[in-house]
Every structure is written in structure tokens, then in C-alpha cells.
Amino acid sequence: MTNKVIIDTDPGIDDAMAIYFAVQAPQIDLLGLTTVFGNIEVELATQNALRLLEHANIDLPVCKGVAMPHVGPESTYAKFVHGEDGLGNLHLPPPKTSADQRTAAEFIIEMAHKYPNEITLVPIGPLGNIALALKLEPKLPELIKSVNIMGGAAHVAGNVTPVAEANIWNDAYAAEIVFSAGWDVKMFGLDVTYATSFDPDFVDILAAKNPVLGGLVARASQFYIDFYSKREDKKVCFFHDAFPLAYIVNPDLFTLITGNIRIGTDPLHRGQTSFAPLGSTTSELWTETPPVKVATGVNHAALTQLFIDTYAR
């Protein structure tokens, strides 16, 4: 059985690895990519999405989404992590194809009506497109199977501020809308992604298994590895964005806890994903929000092997 998926993305080096994992996994039927600002500007994110699909010789809709946070100024982007071009300064040729005429939100809504209760949304960037789709179609939670989010930090420190992870911090008001919409939300945040580092030879293995797709990921990742190696004081890499897709393929690899999440929107706590496990509080400030599931553990060795085996197909 395949799972229909829409990836909402801001490619991004780990986005590239995640997208290529999805297109190779037989359990995933990728319907299209929607793009959002985040790691880079939305226009460049859209161009990169097209580049990645062209490189893989795959024809899928790419729909451009929001360029700004729901509230507040334009993002400062994360080119110091992903390179000026978002893909490790590979400077790939301009895409020959063009983005779909539909906006990201329009595409999500159209597909949700076409395949009711069959689609898993996988946002691996800020949540502006998902929030806008909810505003345009209030019944969207009734039409979507689940929402697997890469973002947040339930029990660990953030990576932008001491309390906030980048995707949530970039569009905190949108995140508040998405987390409180009352649908099946699963959060794959820094609790699992920062606990699961990859040695540099991991990307070499991907390249050996798949010279075309793995080769691009390996080349782009050198910039990424250099960034994380300064942070970790050793050669290391993280592939945050592939986790919510790996869950679709093999949910048994993950430990999830149900609870309530509140999103910080004030300047000091902007983007904070404060988590209260179910039953840990009776405060209405928490219990008035719909419960969500948060990933708190993952089988590192099995996850690594899943990525390698999928790239070897």
C-alpha cells in the first residue's frame, strides 16, 4: 500500500535528501512539491525544487507558496547553513521547467478534495502554506489524513534561539494555526533529529548506492557538513527533514508521545514549542489545544539503514 504525500519544502540540503528519499521509497506516492520561504527565498526554493526533480528525471507539480511570515518582517534565511544557492553552492543550471500555475495552498486544497483522507502533508519548512490552506478551506482537517511536521523542540534546546527551532521560529503565528487545527499532527523535531547524527561517510554511501541522486546529495552536503562540524567540533551531518518521511515508510522506528503543544509568539519565546504530555496538567491554557504526537526517540541504526537501502533501489 502506498501513501499519498505532498512535501512542503524550502530546499535546502536536507530537503534535497528528504525529497530524493521520498521519490525512491515504494511506500510513498509523491503528488507534488509546494515551496515556502525558509532556508532561502521562496523564489529560489521553487527553482531548487524544479532543479531537484529535473536532476532525478521526475515530472511532478511544483507550486510556489508564501514568501513572508504570517506576521512580522521577511526572514533572514539560513544561507550560512545551506549556501547562497541553498544547495551547498553547487550552482546547478537554471531549471528548464516552470512552476505550476496553482499556488501552494491551492494545490494542497485541490489534492485534498481529490483524495479525501488519503494525503499526508509533510511540511519540512515554515508552516505558512499550511496555515493559508486552512484559512482558504476550513474543512481541510477533515480531508487530510495526517500532517507530519519537521520542526519544533519539545524537550531540548532550539537551534535559532535557546527555545526555538528554525522552521517554527520562522513563522510562529502560522505554526500556532497549524498545531491548533484539530487534525492528526505528528511533530518530528530536534528531540530526534539532533539526537541522530550521521558521519560524513554516510553521504558517500548514498553516492555509491545511487550516483545520480545520492551523488548530488553527497556533493551538496559538503557545505552542510562543514557548518555542523564547527558546531559539533567533529565531522558530522544531520538530515532533519527526512525523518517525517521515514516515519511514513516505517513508523515502528520511532517513539511518539501524545500531549498538548503551545506555540510561543511573543518576541522572547517566538517559535517555542512548549509540550505538556497528556495527563500532565489540567490547566485549560494547555488542554484547550488539540493533542498532537511528538517524536521523542528513534532507532538510529535502523533509520540509517532505511535511508541507505532506499537510495540503493
Q: Is 240 a catalytic residue?
A: yes
Q: What is the pLDDT of residues 103-141, one digit of tens each?
A: 999 999 999 999 999 999 999 999 999 999 999 999 999
For the residues 185-196, what does the mean pLDDT come to? 97
- What's the pLDDT at 1? 77
Q: Does the structure show a pLDDT above 80 at 284?
A: yes
Render the burial of 228-245: b for 16+ CB within 10 Å, e for the rest. Answer: beeeeeeeebbbbbbbbb
Q: Does the structure show a pLDDT above 80 at 177?
A: yes
Q: Report the mean per-residue pLDDT for the chain.
A: 96
Q: Is 10 a catalytic residue?
A: yes
Residue 254 host element (H or E)? strand 254-263
In which order are the strands placed within the sheet that holds 62-64? 62-64, 28-35, 3-9, 119-123, 146-150, 185-188, 292-298, 254-263, 273-277
- What's the pLDDT at 230? 82
Q: Cβ distance 216 to 90 under 8 Å? A: yes
Q: Cβ distance 147 to 183 under 8 Å? A: yes
Q: Domain range for residue 171?
A: 3-311
Span of 53-62, 96-105, 126-135, 276-285 with lowest mean pLDDT: 276-285
Report residue 229's pLDDT band, with 50, 70 and 90 as the boundaries. confident
Q: Does the structure show a pLDDT above 80 at 72?
A: yes
Q: Cβ distance 224 to 237 under 8 Å? A: yes
Q: How far is CA 99 from the centre of its chain?
A: 20
Identify the CATH number of the domain in which residue 301 sits: 3.90.245.10
For the residues 167-189, what does the mean pLDDT come to? 98
List 8, 10, 14, 191, catalytic entry: 10
- What's the pLDDT at 74? 87
- What's the pLDDT at 254? 98
Q: How far is CA 14 from the centre of its chain?
A: 9
Please tell me the total count of domains within the chain.
1
Span of 29-43, 107-121, 230-244 with lowest mean pLDDT: 230-244
Q: Cβ distance 128 to 36 under 8 Å? A: yes
Predicted TM-score (pTM) of the model is 0.97
> How far does the chain reach from its first CA to its final CA, in angstroms?
18
Residue 6 host element (H or E)? strand 3-9
- What's the pLDDT at 151? 98
Report residue 179's pLDDT band, with 50, 70 and 90 as the boundaries. very high
List 14, 15, 70, 240, catalytic entry: 240
> How far, in Å, CA of 275 to CA of 296, rounded?
11
User: What share of the chain in percent tops pLDDT 90?
Assistant: 93
Report residue 234's pLDDT band, with 50, 70 and 90 as the boundaries. confident
